[in-house]
Structure 1
Amino acid sequence: MSGQQSGPGGSAQVFQPLTGDDPTTIAGYRLAAKLGAGGMGKVYLSYTPGGRPVAIKVIRPEFGEDQEFRRRFAQEVQSAQRVQGLFTAPVIDADTDGAQPWLATAYVPGPSLADAVVAHGALPVEAVLLLIAGMAEALHVIHGAGIVHRDLKPSNVLLAADGPRVIDFGIAYAADATSLTGSGVTIGTPSFMAPEQAAGRKVTAATDIFALGQVAAYAATGSPAFGEGTSHGVLYRIVHEEPDLGGVPPRLTELVTRCLAKDPGARPSIPEIIALCQAANAETVLRRPEDWLPGPVAADITVRAAAPAPVQAPPPPTVAPSVGYTPTAPVRPAAAPPAAAAPPAAAAPPPGYGPAPAYQPPQPYRTPPPVAVPVPPAAHAHAYAPTPMPAYPGAPAPRPPQRGGRRGALAALAAALVFTVVGGGAAYVALKDDDKDKGQQAQGGGRSDNAGGGGQSSPEPSAKADPKPVDHKGINLTAGYHLTLSDDSLRPQQGEDGGYELSYDTGWYLDAESQGGQLVLLDPGQEGSLAACREDTRFTQNVYVNKLSKGRQVCVITGTGHLGLLTVQGFSPEDSPSKYITLDVTVWRNAIRPASGR
């Protein structure tokens, strides 16, 4: 989810200067150059306070005006921030609620696969194998976060010196249901869509596998597997015809052919894809050397690594402020502070955003001058004389100071010592009693001394008792069916896509579809319980069945406040006409606050 796209060529084309239509800052990030533009928005180069380059994608204003886009965009950004893979560009910051949504990712100094193929031709077989293996690892962590990319294509794959980076995951989903998709704005690239996507059917993780096969064919031949032309013609061939793989090298044929299966269920899993790359590799193991890319492509990486330096200060305003602002004058020792402080917004971005401001050495501390206290005139010095008060209740009034003599000084010193000992002891007793009262209240005594005397506060209400578990043994949940945890008789019902609490999707994964619903796959050997499901926060929207084995447990958290614990007991036999998973289900109803009240 990044969008670091730019055209081929030298640094002047990679790092385009800002124009009058471009902002100079985004939420405090000072922009250094424009990296590119696309159907979703523009991408700019900026820097973190520590000097690390970042790519900031600013979404088009038309999408920001669509509330459904904003809702989906916020959801996808939250999921994308959990994606921490070696072959993805991590999302480090975002604003989904501002006037114009944006997100920032780590800047990847490398051309996109599309730019590299257009400029230098197809990649050699060894580079394609390393490319696809890295992309498969990226899809593994993306799918693990509950995200389907939906727009995996050569321009969304960046070629870095240490491997590929998959970017822009999730944005297509955010834009898919907006009003703009029906008014001439195309989301997704027809040449790299899957048949179910082109036909308007449900998109699953297997959709990304089909696109991965198309990317492999493109990288190895320089042309899309289903040809080029009008979008309608390309989509028809994807749905109804076979791909043209005549130019694909023999070592890549099995990998590409299996990924481009029309049936989503016939496509290989990610571990199988990596195994196919390993089998087709000339070496005994897949290793990524520093020169894994051809020399001309590596030279493009060098060009993009020479990013322009960050702007040290934002440009001065072109229009004078209309509020009577005057610059703050230099501070002088005898000058009074200005009547009104200057507005801080134009001085520097908020802390933690953009390049760090210029360093200012600390100033040495100076003891402030003593404040002169006005003294009454001598003529009126006798008009007021404060009456000395006893040092503590019952203490004798201090005597007037004796003029001269050592005895008066010793007496004054002795009185001061007596006050210190007696007063300090009284303060200690008072503090000790106060701590004792607080301790009694913390232990449930509930004692409280009010102004009226003797009042007592009511004890804290007791915590709500845990709900009783309801066990359902041996449920066969068939693919395409769902469960509703609030049902007294927990029986699978037909349907896999309708906001259900738990469904077994035909894409071969368990899905939490209800608003606020989530799943947690517990670790092997971890004992599932109500407390474990309440405390674990490794949330995801779906769990693929190939990650499950007998005895594995999955927590189900519904948006309606129910908790469920699934224990896998088995799977359907190979010769079974239906695909199902056998589960023991324990349900705790109303165990947490519903999603609307969290």
Structure 2
Amino acid sequence: MSSAPSANLFKPLQEGDPAVVGGYRLAAVLGTGGMGKVYLSYTPGGRPIALKVIRPEFSEDPEFRRRFKQEVHAAQRVQGLYTAPVIDSDTDGAQPWLATAYVPGPSLAHAVAQHGGLPLPSVLLLTVGVAEALHVIHGAGIVHRDLKPANVLLASDGPRVIDFGIARAADATALTGTGVSVGTPAFMAPEQASAGTVTPATDIFALGQIAAFAAIGSPAYGDGSSHAVLYRIVHEDPDLSRLPAELLPLVTRCLSRDPAGRPSLTEIIELCHELSPVALRQGEDWLPQTVAGSITERLRLPEPAKTPPPQAAAAPTPTQFSPQNPGPGQNPAPGAMNPYAPTGFAMPSAPTQSAPGVPGPVPPPQHPMHPTQGHHTPTPGYPTHSTPPPGYHTPPPVIHAPYVPPTHPKPKRTGLIVAASVVGAVLILGVIGSLLPDGSGKDKDSGANSPSSRSSSGSSGSGTSDGGQPRADPKPVSYKGIALTESYEIMLADSPPRPVEREDVAYGDGDLYFSVVRFADEAAIGTANGKLVVLNNTQKGSLETCRTETRYTEKVRLNQLSNGSEICVLSNAGHVAVATYRGKSGDNDPSSYVTFDLRIWRNAEEAKAN
């Protein structure tokens, strides 16, 4: 670890690079891509991270921001052995960014460029690892869309897939049609290149390309201009003449032009085990020694930048505390170094005047330090302790002297007594008035549509109004035969509930949605705005039943339901419904949908914050 880091791997920050992003002090530049720049930084505990800052051109596009936020939220759910986890992000700031764990290993693209193709055992272990990563990524409802050798890192214990799903956000911006390239043509699937269609099978095609690239040492569809490569992908067969014979059946199936003809991830893993002459086990020796040396090189990280020390102050006078020796029970004087402050992070400090030609300290970050929730860096304008101006002397300490309360003349009580009497009279009249009935003989707050009727009734029944009186439950409204199409969602507040299309319903805001994950042959209904409860056959769907049940879930597979199954839908907006499942569309139907009967109690509970 004492060796100097490679200048080719860790480039120094340039004039246009920020010093601090989201509370993380940047240490070096790791690389630059179509969507932004990647920096090396450290967590408060000293763990290295890769922090990607999105290009300003993308940040200014509202649709990009919306999708980027959705994708980061989804990516945070991906926790696999062969993925680099997302550990922090800011999708709403002036310049969005996200941070992932730093993987000390070269990309597959870099390893092949430097050392050529990999041996068969390494290719099989690479394929198995990437297939497992895709299984976890697809399970979170994400399609990678840009799986390529540059997005597969070779760590000492197996591959790591990065940047999953992020390319989808770029598809929403007009920049993709004005010369800004995000996807990589050489590794696109035919349906992606010709029609823009992207499904989990698209990633299977890319996985076949990666296996061929790792074994051959070059793209299966050759090099050249983007248009020429895309034409060959759509209309011609790949050149697999140099591919090892053992890999030919696997790669050929993955590169099928028909997405339905490609194998599943489970089949790919099984095929790799069958093709291997020995049992496949990820370990320290899964890569050739020449490639493994690149991992060692990437472990020689540059030291995290340290917070500059404050400028030396004048010698303390007898009436001042020395910053290095505060009195008992006192905090260190302003400007003193905090021995417990983590290195590599910007700490709030007083503004100092730098000498001519000497760079001043890095300003404090504009965002709270995300890794340590609960600790917030003071924002600009927030009062902080500052260094006393020259000539100012701190008053002598008095903390050890016994506290003597100051003596003040006692105020006259006449005015207070009169004011208290008036307030008491008003309160008594108010209480008497609230007990009197209005002209209609009904309590003022007994109406079903009054504000009090929307308060939570709890699990025991109708609840109470603001005046302490029981309030009536809302009357249910019924809707028959609602057809909910795949990738559509409904809101219980709508009357009648009408399905609305969303690209990613699982991370939308629907009270009830229908989705299909085709690679896993899994159809399900779910909620992105509350909870679901599948009722037993012995239970009758009612408001009381839905209030008392606590067997919550957010998604229910259709194979768990039968015609007549009842599901409680508890919306965060306070609406409660019983959805009665009436079946799914047939295989010959032109669209995929499920049918429900709905009985809705609107505003039956207190709304919850999302």
Partner amino acid, structure 1, of 2:82:
F
Which structure's CA Rg is the greater one?
A: 1
Partners in 1 of 2:207 and 2:578 — Cα distance?
35
Partner amino acid, structure 2, of 1:84:
Q
Give 2:125's match in structure 1, choosing from 118, 123, 130.
130
Preserved contact between residue 42 and residue 49 of structure 2 (Cα < 8 Å): yes
Give 2:402's match in structure 1, choosing from 370, 379, 395.
370
1:77 — aligned with what? 72
Partners in 1 of 2:66 and 2:301 — Cα distance?
34
1:444 — aligned with what? none
Preserved contact between residue 83 and residue 161 of structure 2 (Cα < 8 Å): yes
- Per the alignment, do residues 92 and 579 of structure 1 end up closer, same or farther by CA in structure 2, a change over 3 Å counting? same
2:598 — aligned with what? 587
- Per the alignment, do residues 94 and 538 of structure 1 end up closer, same or farther by CA in structure 2, a change over 3 Å counting? farther
- Per the alignment, do residues 277 and 62 of structure 1 end up closer, same or farther by CA in structure 2, a change over 3 Å counting? same
Deviation of residue 88 (structure 1)? 0.9
Query: Is 1:459 the equivalent of 2:459?
Result: no
Preserved contact between residue 5 and residue 302 of structure 2 (Cα < 8 Å): no
Q: Which runs of 5+ in 2 are unaligned?
A: 312-320, 337-345, 351-363, 377-396, 412-425, 435-465
Query: Is 1:299 the equivalent of 2:296?
Result: no
Percent sequence identity is 50
Secondary structure at the counterpart of residue 13 of structure 1: coil
1:181 — aligned with what? 176
Give 2:116's match in structure 1, choosing from 118, 121, 132.
121
Partners in 2 of 1:533 and 1:15 — Cα distance?
58
Secondary structure at the counterpart of residue 109 of structure 1: coil
2:83 — aligned with what? 88
Q: State how many pairs are aligned.
A: 489
Partner amino acid, structure 2, of 1:178:
T
For residues 136-285 of structure 1, what are the structure 2 equivalents within 5 Å? 136-283=131-278, 285=279
Give 1:22's match in structure 2, choosing from 17, 28, 36.
17
Normalized against structure 1, the TM-score is what? 0.67
- Per the alignment, do residues 58 and 258 of structure 1 end up closer, same or farther by CA in structure 2, a change over 3 Å counting? same
Partner amino acid, structure 2, of 1:161:
S
Partners in 2 of 1:163 and 1:289 — Cα distance?
7
Partners in 2 of 1:595 and 1:240 — Cα distance?
55
2:414 — aligned with what? none
- Per the alignment, do residues 255 and 584 of structure 1 end up closer, same or farther by CA in structure 2, a change over 3 Å counting? same
2:437 — aligned with what? none
Deviation of residue 162 (structure 1)? 1.3
Partner amino acid, structure 2, of 1:308:
P
Partners in 2 of 1:489 and 1:373 — Cα distance?
69
Partners in 1 of 2:157 and 2:208 — Cα distance?
22
Partners in 1 of 2:187 and 2:176 — Cα distance?
18
Partner amino acid, structure 1, of 2:468:
P
- Per the alignment, do residues 210 and 344 of structure 1 end up closer, same or farther by CA in structure 2, a change over 3 Å counting? closer
Partner amino acid, structure 2, of 1:309:
E
Partners in 2 of 1:463 and 1:126 — Cα distance?
70
Partners in 2 of 1:287 and 1:44 — Cα distance?
32
Deviation of residue 385 (structure 1)? 12
Partners in 2 of 1:118 and 1:571 — Cα distance?
50
Deviation of residue 333 (structure 1)? 6.6
Partners in 2 of 1:303 and 1:528 — Cα distance?
65
Preserved contact between residue 523 and residue 558 of structure 2 (Cα < 8 Å): no
Preserved contact between residue 120 and residue 215 of structure 2 (Cα < 8 Å): yes
Partner amino acid, structure 1, of 2:236:
E
Preserved contact between residue 68 and residue 166 of structure 2 (Cα < 8 Å): yes
Preserved contact between residue 197 and residue 207 of structure 1 (Cα < 8 Å): yes
Deviation of residue 25 (structure 1)? 1.1
Secondary structure at the counterpart of residue 11 of structure 1: coil
Deviations 1:136-159 (A, max 9, x none): 111112112221111000000111
Preserved contact between residue 68 and residue 169 of structure 2 (Cα < 8 Å): yes
Partners in 1 of 2:44 and 2:186 — Cα distance?
40
Secondary structure at the counterpart of residue 44 of structure 1: strand
Q: Which runs of 5+ in 1 are unaligned?
A: 1-8, 318-327, 358-364, 377-383, 387-448
Query: Is 1:313 the equivalent of 2:322?
Result: no
Normalized against structure 2, the TM-score is what? 0.66
Partner amino acid, structure 1, of 2:280:
L
- Per the alignment, do residues 488 and 50 of structure 1 end up closer, same or farther by CA in structure 2, a change over 3 Å counting? closer
Deviation of residue 94 (structure 1)? 0.6
